[in-house]
Structure 1
Amino acid sequence: MSLVVVANREPLRQERGRWVPAVGGLATALLPVLERRGGTWVAWGEKEADAVPRLAHPPEAPRFTVRRLHVPAREVTGSYHGMANRVLWPLAHYFLERVELRRAFYAAYQATNRRFAEAVLEEWTDPATPVWVHDYHLMLVPALLRAARPGARIGFFWHIPWPPPEVWQVLPWTRQLLEGVLGADLVGLHTPEYVANFLATCRTLPGAVVDGQRVRWQGRTIRVEAHPIGIDTARFAQWAAEPRVRERARRIRRMAGTPLVVVGVDRLDYTKGIPERLAAWERLFERYPQWLGQVTLYQIAVPSRTRLPSYRLLKRLVDEQVGRINGAYMRDGWVPVHYLYRAFTPRELTAFYLAADAALVTPLRDGMNLVAQEYAWVTENGVLILSSLAGAASVLPEAVAVNPFDVDGLADTLHEVLASLADEPGRRRWDARRAALKERVAALDVHRWAERFLASLEGSPVTLAGASPG
């Protein structure tokens, strides 16, 4: 059976005049599914959508279509840069002080969601085909599709944290957004905690009845399930085995010039905890000066949302921290922090993972965090230090859990981990935990995630309005 995928981001990108699969994220998970099943991916065509509204892929033997929506610039400003990035993103990550409530944002968000729903209805030629809607950009789409096709099978997946109902009370549009999501038959989130928070939020909706992990709403039954997403394990294993990647890893270690190497990989976003991490790195040298000249941090920060003033301020703060740490502790050619402000391909990141004795994955809040899984899967003798506030912590219990807000505690944990890695017997103590993490990452593989969700969606009974809810 074919499939309609609805997501804000396109699954293809232009490279040397050709359209090729995008790297990472949903494209990795769902392009193989669409190639097998056929169907359509509906997305915002960020560039030249008027000129190229549809793409057939693969071009030599098309298996599915990408419908590229043109969204007017003013609507993008209000819906994407406004409602999505300045309201829903900070709210879902518990940064209420960053939420900017503007009615113009919500009006633009409504218009964009209607635009997506209308495009889906144009492409959705077979009502028996399931539709899978993704993420916080498109919360209203499931209900819009349900109103047009009551008997359809619709799934929705939320890729970031779902906070408890008291957080949602900040928004004047929570009811409308929740009603939009409940247009789906199956709502997926990454962790049982997010499922519990979603169900608790549904209890605040007048007329909704929560029964276990089901919500009865308007004569229908909606199931809510945890489906933790994973990585493309086969692809990362292939990259990790490539001689040129392994040579690159050796060069990274030589450039560091220290016995131990630590890596951090993040988008430059206030949710990722980079300033707190750098503060802990600085505190490590203050409290444990024996590590001066013995360990190097590679901090990769991928540019993100650079048009927003808050993100430009964050970059300035991080730049200043790195400069202060390096200025205070640099000696004899050793640089405590190698700060790399640019994007890297997954293959390039694999070399950093192989080179690093430990990874610092310390977001202040995160829906899942795939860097944690990537490092745990690729590393051969390293230790994963992971924020307890990332969704990944619930599926990777063998990682070293830390509180990213506790700078002193993080510095102490770093010292303990580095001390354990300083000799071979200490390293061997991590072998069992490392092996267990690899087993967990293998089980979470992103392709299995997609198939599990779709199997659940397609196996779920649909109760039409007016019928007795199950």
Structure 2
Amino acid sequence: MSLVLVANRAPIRPTSTGWAPALGGLASALLPVLEAQGGAWVAMQEPDERTPLFQRYPDDDPRFTVRRVPLEEPEYAAFYQGMANRVLWPLAHYLVEHVEPERTFRDAYRAVNRRFAHAALDVAREQGGAVQFWIQDYHMMLVPEMIRGALAGAQVGFFWHVPWPASEVFRIVPSATALLKGLLGSDLIGFHTEGYAENFRESARDLLGAEIDPEGVHWQGRHVRVEAHPIGIDVERFVGFGERPETQAQAEALVEELGDVQIVLGVDRLDYTKGLLLRMEAFERFLELYPEMHGRVTLLQVATPSRTGVPAYDRLRRDMDEITGRINGRFAQGAWAPVRYRYRSFTQEELAVLYRAADVAFVTPLRDGMNLVAHEFAAVSERGALVLSELTGAADYLDGAVFVNPYDAEGMARSLREALDLPEDDRRRRLASLRAAVERLDVHVWADRFLTSLDGRPAPPADGEGGAEPEGAEAVADPA
């Protein structure tokens, strides 16, 4: 059975030497599946992007097709920057103060979802034979119902990569019922945790009046399965990065550069969901509580650029510059700067160097669907401790972390000291537990588990817990 994937981003990228897999876990997990099964990946083409609309990959031995959906600037701004990033993203993370009125975005969101559904059906028709559709994330909530309206016998899976909030939060969006109906066009909807899955089922019950059970939602004569399928990283890839001699050499050089201090590491996109300002306040409080640690600990905070041009993100960048300056102004001594702040993108190989050098990973998002930085650190580190927000999906699975409330600066400061002072045996025991959990959640296991369940076969439990021919794009239903 071939596979048609629908996702916001394409799985391949142009490089100086040709096309290569995109960076990130999704491409890492699903490219091997596509290459084995055949099929297509439907993705967005941004307004200024110069890539082919139709592309066979790899060039020398094509195994699947990339089909790009071109977006003009106005619809890109309303669909992606608007509905996706200024409505659904903050809503999913309970940061309702950042949710903007959706009325100016919803029409573009519906129209772009319809175009993705058209493209998915078109490439499915070109594939011939039995096809599975697998749709990814909050950008594409209406696509499942659109596909089912055009192809009643379609096998449709959907994976939601961010938190699903409680029903009383999700219902804030005026089009909440239309969005729920869109998702319920799926046969299987996957979430990182059982808690998110339960929130979704309750949203369907409370907002649509649907009947629910522990396995899913009964809707329009169908039973839509709702399951936890926690995602992880490509463990072998990251372990390999950590074992390279050059990684260890560069990590040692970084420790020397920072003054042979204990390194507390933060790695995040510059996003208000990541709790960066509260983390900085917690580190400032740590320095106030423990003056004996001055000159002995440095916070190395990486913030990769994200959604530049969106006012909330631009403000966050300014605030991070200001709080970094304030902390260093208060506490710096001689060559020691308590905070080293790096605002730029890092490759996975570069991140492996940071993970290897760090004594503690300080991972404190306000909310996070999973948080793969915690996984990456556990896969690469030899001796580090993990301080992890209890409001991440990863907290459900990564035994061995020191858990914190990301809104409690005082508590985070004290937990950071606890992590820095862990005895060597305890540190290694915790790290071994983290590594074992990360290996069980490997991204390739995630993909296989989800597709096995979508196909109707019994899937192995998550850690801790064919139809008619497509009729073509013109037959796509509009659920809204």
Given the two structures, how large is their TM-score scaled by the length of structure 2?
0.93
Q: 1:315 aligns with which of 291, 314, 317?
A: 317
Aligned position for 1:415: 417
Determine if the alignment matches structure 1 residue 443 to structure 2 residue 445: no
1:50–1:330 Cα change, 3 Å:
closer
Determine if the alignment matches structure 1 residue 35 to structure 2 residue 35: yes
Give how far 1:127 is off.
5.8
Give how far 1:305 is off.
0.3
SS in 2 for 1:344: coil
User: CA offsets, 1:407-428, max 9 Å, x none?
Assistant: 01111111222233xxxxx121
Kindly report which structure 2 residues correspond to 1:156-305, keeping only aligned pairs within 5 A, or say none.
Answer: 156-305=158-307
Q: For residues 149 and 225 of structure 2, what CA distance do their matches in structure 1 show?
A: 19
Aligned position for 1:12: 12
Determine if the alignment matches structure 1 residue 374 to structure 2 residue 376: yes
Q: For residues 51 and 160 of structure 1, what CA distance do their matches in structure 2 show?
A: 28
User: CA offsets, 1:9-62, max 9 Å, x none?
Assistant: 111111116221101131111011111111100000126668611111111100
Aligned position for 2:102: 102
Q: For residues 72 and 195 of structure 1, what CA distance do their matches in structure 2 show?
A: 35
Aligned position for 2:122: 122
Determine if the alignment matches structure 1 residue 458 to structure 2 residue 455: yes
Determine if the alignment matches structure 1 residue 81 to structure 2 residue 81: yes
Q: 2:146 aligns with which of 144, 147, 154?
A: 144
Q: Would you say the 8 A contact 1:186–1:223 is kept in 2?
A: yes
Structure 2 residues not aligned, in runs of 5+: 459-465, 469-480
Aligned length: 459
Given the two structures, how large is their TM-score scaled by the length of structure 1?
0.95
Aligned position for 1:386: 388
Give how far 1:205 is off.
3.7
User: CA offsets, 1:190-213, max 9 Å, x none?
Assistant: 001101101110112435210222
Q: Would you say the 8 A contact 1:207–1:217 is kept in 2?
A: no
Q: Which amino acid aligns with 2:73?
A: A
Structure 1 residues not aligned, in runs of 5+: 421-425, 465-470
User: CA offsets, 1:289-312, max 9 Å, x none?
Assistant: 000000111100000001101100
Q: Which amino acid aligns with 1:431?
A: R
Q: Would you say the 8 A contact 1:4–1:130 is kept in 2?
A: yes
SS in 1 for 2:387: strand
User: CA offsets, 1:112-142, max 9 Å, x none?
Assistant: 0001001111111236210000000000000
Higher mean alpha-carbon deviation, 238-247 vs 264-273, is at 238-247
Q: Which amino acid aligns with 1:218?
A: Q
Q: Which amino acid aligns with 1:179?
A: K
Query: RMSD of aligned C-alpha atoms?
Result: 1.6
SS in 1 for 2:448: helix
SS in 1 for 2:208: coil
Q: Which amino acid aligns with 2:429?
A: A
Give how far 1:252 is off.
1.1
Q: Which amino acid aligns with 1:263?
A: L
Q: Would you say the 8 A contact 1:50–1:70 is kept in 2?
A: no
Q: How high is the sequence identity, in percent, across the aligned residues?
A: 52
Q: Would you say the 8 A contact 1:299–1:339 is kept in 2?
A: yes
